[in-house]
């Protein structure tokens, strides 16, 4: 079974779009974190099927989906996000969406940037949470060239090493070929301005990576902090708000190391709940806070 949504599933997802939870008014207003302004850029919506979160192929999964007003067998329409981070006249991008890798229905980041009045040449760096195609595909034009002509591409050393290593590809399921092709095309297109960093590397004053490994070896979120304001944009810690807050043990089929992904998710849920952190994610429609609820967690916006 393909680990990726098939083209047919993506098209079927247009039905799921009508079921997409409506973001609360104001959710998409730019968020100010001290002197930073953060804007969610939605690249598209993809239909998440329970088979992509195998724990959800269960009575409990069907109940959670039905309780959310969705068909018990899914799918749920989940966003693919990038984020624009601005500070005075500086502009950075956090991930870049799918580009044209997954066909029609995506690649809206470029238009969203234009709406914000940002020319791609003004992006000084792209901070990449990981090299999956729904985050890195948008770094390329349809012709496969660098879409951000002046941007440094910053990512974790472990991430660049994994996707650039022929041995990783040889070990991975054949269905991951498109992910490897995209990752390697991105690494090649930005080869002369790649910045490989380790750990909690500083990205700009007040902005730093936070390693959250498991989904991929070098998967990392980004923290923004200025004065008493803080935001964590945690990449792919969660693919389904409906399913994975009550069940942090439900991993996605794309997780490279499922045990590590689960441990990372529980750890950052606990930390976010304890610190009252505002969090946002690449597959969350709104920013919010994590709290403990029952044996699991809940996300409140």
User: CB under 5 A: which stretch of 18-26, 34-42, 91-99, 131-139 binds Zn ion?
Assistant: 131-139
Nearer to Zn ion, 82 or 87 (CB): 82
- Whether a cis peptide bond, with omega within 30° of 0, leads into 75 is yes
Using alpha carbons, select from 236, 254, 239 the residue that is nearest to residue 75.
239
Does position 134 interact with Zn ion (CB under 5 A)? The reply is yes
Using alpha carbons, select from 226, 151, 133, 234 the residue that is nearest to residue 190.
151
Nearer to Zn ion, 97 or 206 (CB): 97
At its nearest, how many Å lie between Zn ion and the CB of residue 208? 21
Per CB under 5 A, the list member of 49, 95, 159, 236 interacting with Zn ion is 236
At its nearest, how many Å lie between Zn ion and the CB of residue 283? 6
At its nearest, how many Å lie between Zn ion and the CB of residue 129? 8
Nearer to Zn ion, 87 or 255 (CB): 255
Q: How many residues bind Zn ion (CB under 5 A)?
A: 2
Nearer to Zn ion, 87 or 264 (CB): 264
Nearer to Zn ion, 87 or 160 (CB): 160
Classify strands 220-226 and 36-48 as parallel, antiparallel or unpaired.
Answer: unpaired
**Residue 153, beta-bridge partner list:** 126, 194
User: CB under 5 A: which stretch of 40-48, 128-136, 170-178, 220-228 binds Zn ion?
Assistant: 128-136
User: CB under 5 A: which stretch of 11-19, 42-50, 134-142, 161-169 binds Zn ion?
Assistant: 134-142
User: CB under 5 A: which stretch of 115-123, 163-171, 192-200, 231-239 binds Zn ion?
Assistant: 231-239
User: CB under 5 A: which stretch of 87-95, 102-110, 119-127, 236-244 binds Zn ion?
Assistant: 236-244
Largest CA distance in the chain: 51
At its nearest, how many Å lie between Zn ion and the CB of residue 69? 24
**Residue 234, beta-bridge partner list:** none
At its nearest, how many Å lie between Zn ion and the CB of residue 39? 19
**Contact pattern for Zn ion over residues 189 through 228, marking x by CB under 5 A:** ----------------------------------------
At its nearest, how many Å lie between Zn ion and the CB of residue 67? 24
User: CB under 5 A: which stretch of 47-55, 137-145, 155-163, 234-242 binds Zn ion?
Assistant: 234-242
In this structure, is the dihedral angle defined by the CA atoms of residues 31, 33, 34 and 36, taken in order, positive or negative?
negative
What are the backbone dihedrals phi and psi of residue 173, each rounded to the nearest 5 degrees, phi first?
-60, 150
What are the backbone dihedrals phi and psi of residue 259, each rounded to the nearest 5 degrees, phi first?
-65, -40
- Whether a cis peptide bond, with omega within 30° of 0, leads into 155 is no
Nearer to Zn ion, 87 or 210 (CB): 210
Where would I find the beta strands (DSSP E) of the chain? 31-33, 36-48, 76-87, 90-94, 125-127, 152-156, 194-197, 202-204, 207-211, 220-226, 229-233, 279-280, 289-293, 296-300
Q: How far is 99 from 110, CA to CA, in rounded Å?
A: 9
What are the backbone dihedrals phi and psi of residue 128, each rounded to the nearest 5 degrees, phi first?
-105, 125
* Intra-chain end-to-end CA distance of the chain, in Å: 35
Contact residues for Zn ion (CB under 5 A)?
134, 236
């Amino acid at each position: 079974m393909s680990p990726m949504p098939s083209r047919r599933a993506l098209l079927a997802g247009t039905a799921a779009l009508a079921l997409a939870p409506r973001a609360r008014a104001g959710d998409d207003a730019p968020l100010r974190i001290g002197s930073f302004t953060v804007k969610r850029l939605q690249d598209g919506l993809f239909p998440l099927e329970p088979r992509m979160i195998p724990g959800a192929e269960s009575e409990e999964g069907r109940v959670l989906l039905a309780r959310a007003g969705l068909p018990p067998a899914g799918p749920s329409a989940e966003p693919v996000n990038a984020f624009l981070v601005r500070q005075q006249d500086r502009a950075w991008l956090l991930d870049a969406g799918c580009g044209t890798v997954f066909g029609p229905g995506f690649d809206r980041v470029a238009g969203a940037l234009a709406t914000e009045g940002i020319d791609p040449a003004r992006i000084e760096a792209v901070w990449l949470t990981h090299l999956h195609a729904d985050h890195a595909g948008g770094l390329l034009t349809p012709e496969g060239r660098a879409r951000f002509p002046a941007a440094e591409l910053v990512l974790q050393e472990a991430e660049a090493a994994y996707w650039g290593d022929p041995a990783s590809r040889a070990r991975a399921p054949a269905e991951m070929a498109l992910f490897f092709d995209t990752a390697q095309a991105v690494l090649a297109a930005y080869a002369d301005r790649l910045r490989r960093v380790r750990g909690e590397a500083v990205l700009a004053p007040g902005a730093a990576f936070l390693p959250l490994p498991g989904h991929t070896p070098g998967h990392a979120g980004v923290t923004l902090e200025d004065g008493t304001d803080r935001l964590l944009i945690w990449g792919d810690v969660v693919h389904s708000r409906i399913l994975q807050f009550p069940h942090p043990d439900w991993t996605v089929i794309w997780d490279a190391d499922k045990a590590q992904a689960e441990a990372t998710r529980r750890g950052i849920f606990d930390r976010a709940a304890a610190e009252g952190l505002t969090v946002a994610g690449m597959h969350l429609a709104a920013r919010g806070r994590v709290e403990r609820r029952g044996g699991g967690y809940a996300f409140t916006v």
